[in-house]
C-alpha cells in the first residue's frame, strides 16, 4: 500500500505542468498614457475643454489594457466593471491613429464577427499595432496592410 502523501504529489505534478504550459506572456498591463490626462486637464482651462477633461479623468481611473501573447483584454466602463477579451484569431483588421503629439494613439480592432474593440490613449500604440498584425491570421494582416488608409475611416 502506498503512502497517501505520495499520491497527492503525483496528482499535483500534472497540475503544475498544466499551469506552466497555460501561462500567458504579458507584454503590457496598464492604463492609458499619462499625457492623455495632462492634455485633458489643460483643455479644461477652457469651457469647451471640460468634457474632454472629464473623459481623460474617467479613462485614467477606470480604463486598463492587458496585452498578452494570446489575448487582448480591455477593462473599462463604470468603475472598470466591463471586461472585453479578444483572441488574436478573432481579429479581422487593425486600424490606428496617433494622438498626443505621437506619444500615444487610439487603436481599433475590427473583429471577424462584425464587432469592434476600441483602445483609446494606448501607450506605444505603434508597437502594439505591429504585434497584433504579426499575430493575426494571414488574411487579417493582409487586409490591414492593403487598406492603406490612416485613421478609422472606411
Q: Check pLDDT > 50 for residue 14.
A: no
For residue 62, tell me if it sits in a domain.
Answer: yes
Instruction: Give a yes or no: residue 142 inside a domain.
Output: yes
Least confident of 7-21, 91-105, 128-142: 7-21
Instruction: Let me know if residue 18 belongs to a domain.
Output: no
- CATH number of the domain to which 122 belongs: 2.30.29.30
Q: How many domains, in total, are found in the chain?
A: 1
- Rounded to 10 degrees, the C-alpha dihedral 92/68/73/101 comes to -80
Q: Is residue 76 part of a domain?
A: yes
| Sequence-ordered alpha helix ranges (H) in 25-101 | 34-43, 50-62
Confidence tier at 21 by pLDDT (50, 70, 90): very low
Q: Which domain holds residue 120?
A: 26-146
Query: Mind listing the pLDDT tens digit for each residue in 63-83?
Result: 999 999 999 999 998 887 899
What are residue 74's phi and psi, to 5 degrees? Answer: -120, 120
Predicted confidence (pLDDT) per residue in 85-120, tens digit = 999 999 999 999 999 889 999 999 999 999 999 999
Residue 25 has what pLDDT? 94
Structural domain includes residue 35: yes
The Cα–Cα gap between 39 and 141 comes to: 33
79 part of a folded domain = yes
- Answer whether residue 48 is part of any domain: yes
Residue 135 lies in a domain: yes
Residue 101, Cα to own-chain centre: how many angstroms? 21
Amino acid at each position: 500500500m502506498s503512502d497517501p502523501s505520495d499520491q497527492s504529489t503525483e496528482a499535483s505534478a500534472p497540475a503544475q505542468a498544466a499551469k506552466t504550459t497555460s501561462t500567458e506572456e504579458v507584454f503590457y498591463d496598464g492604463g492609458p498614457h499619462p499625457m492623455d490626462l495632462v492634455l485633458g486637464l489643460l483643455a479644461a482651462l477652457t469651457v469647451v475643454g471640460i468634457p474632454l477633461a472629464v473623459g481623460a479623468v474617467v479613462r485614467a481611473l477606470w480604463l486598463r489594457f492587458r496585452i498578452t501573447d494570446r489575448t487582448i483584454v480591455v477593462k473599462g466602463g463604470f468603475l472598470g466593471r466591463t471586461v472585453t477579451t479578444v483572441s488574436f484569431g478573432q481579429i479581422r483588421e487593425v486600424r490606428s491613429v496617433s494622438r498626443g503629439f505621437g506619444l500615444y494613439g487610439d487603436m481599433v480592432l475590427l473583429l471577424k464577427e462584425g464587432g469592434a474593440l476600441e483602445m483609446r490613449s494606448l501607450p506605444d500604440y505603434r508597437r502594439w499595432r505591429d504585434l497584433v498584425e504579426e499575430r493575426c491570421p494571414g488574411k487579417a494582416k493582409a487586409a490591414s496592410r492593403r487598406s492603406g488608409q490612416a485613421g478609422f475611416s472606411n
